[in-house]
Amino acid sequence: MSKIDIIQEVQQNFIDSSFDVNCHRAFPNVKDGLKDGQRCILWEMYTKKYTSNKPHVKSAKIDGGVAALWWPHGTTAIYETFARMSQPFTNNVPEIDFHGANGNIILGGDAIAADRYTEARLSSLTEDYMLKGVEKNTVPMTLNFSEDEYMPKVLPSVFPRLLVNGAQGIGVSVANTWLPHSLSETCNLVINYLKTNELNTLEYYPDFPTGGTIINKDELSIINKTGKGKVILQANYKIENKEIIFYEMPYQVYIEPVIEKIKEQIEKEELVGIKEVFNKSDKKNIALVIECKNGYKPEKVVEQLFQQTPLRSQYNANQNGIISKTPVLLNLQQTIDVYVKHNLECIKKEHQYDLDEANARIEILNGLSKALIHIDEIILIIKESENSQDAKEKLSSTFGFTENQTKAILEMRLSKLTKLDGVSINKELDEKKKLAEFCNQVVNSQEEQ
């Protein structure tokens, strides 16, 4: 009987488990901004054609498909993941188009209806700017856990997801928090960086989907320079007579839990001057209303609320992301450099794929154009040949057709072969030559990319 060193075995198991958690669960890939589970969800919806131009699909069907093929986790965790990807109060640009209750800013992000009641599909942004080109050999593919289907290791995402929608996760001995930013500001930042090779780190701030006001903007450039730092965000409000009306909440702060917190603080007498707390929100507007007692200034009550409740919250940025299977702390320039390099590679590979396809078609069209001149002789050779191999050899030796050209001619029905149209062939040939020229320029010019 063989002996096992239990300490060595436990150590190795811990290392293997830590690697799996950090590499495949807790941290986003810097290239496309996605964790593996999120990528698996998008891939399931893409391959099953749950797209924006088709009806929504039952959520239970989606999370079941992901668990069966791509991501060996419970369907509840998978469902909650793509429901969060659809929340407009969690993401600046949701990647999933959702039908049904997917949480709200009143009760919280976890107030999601069961998957048997809701429906989902890809958003058009995800299709056009995260998945487009994935079938043109733009990214490496890998086998799924059952080794019977291929899936992308990373998406060819031109959408800068990591900066726009952010990410959060806790790994083994290290965590990550990427704060969200405005899509338009992020795009303008990248465009200006590409044009000037200079990155403006001083005026690029987090931008949260729920609004609020950042009160420590002078400290934010440290996040862009180092990848770490803090953001202090407080709710926006207005005062009408004795009422304080909060109409924008801090990120991931929800109204009903805040009301409970306020009432607890009132009972503890740590909050004074408050007569009543109301939630007057509707489907269009947020309205957390604080009615002040007589003799208390609303401004003083507001300051108490900011000190004692999550109406003023702090967010600690910790920009760790996966590069070459390892969590790495990145500043803004490093993040954008990885994103840009990835996109240039994807653009080059996509146009190389299109160039190869165009050249292959040009070869066939040149063969058909030549065949049109000798159509009667070709038909006679085909009819008199003993088999396809005999016909292929005769066509090749007689007219100098390439192997691909002879194959294309022989695969055509005689009725179609006799109706070859020189005008349409030449028209398509001109189109393919222009496409090939354009693709060749892109492949060989980083400026074009």
Active site residues: 117
CA 142 to chain centre: 18
Question: How many whole angstroms separate alpha carbon 80 and alpha carbon 101?
Answer: 12
398: alpha, beta or left? (left if phi > 0; alpha if psi -120 to 50):
alpha
Q: Angle, nearest 10°, between helix axes 75-84 and 59-69?
A: 120
236: alpha, beta or left? (left if phi > 0; alpha if psi -120 to 50):
beta
Structure tokens at 414: 């005689």
One-character DSSP codes across 365-388: HHHHHHHHHTHHHHHHHHHH-SSH
**Chain position carrying tokens 């078609």:** 361
Question: How many whole angstroms separate alpha carbon 423 and alpha carbon 414?
Answer: 19
Residues in the chain: 449
Q: Which residues pair with 277 in a beta bridge?
A: 290
Q: Are 136 and 114 in contact (CB under 8 A)?
A: no
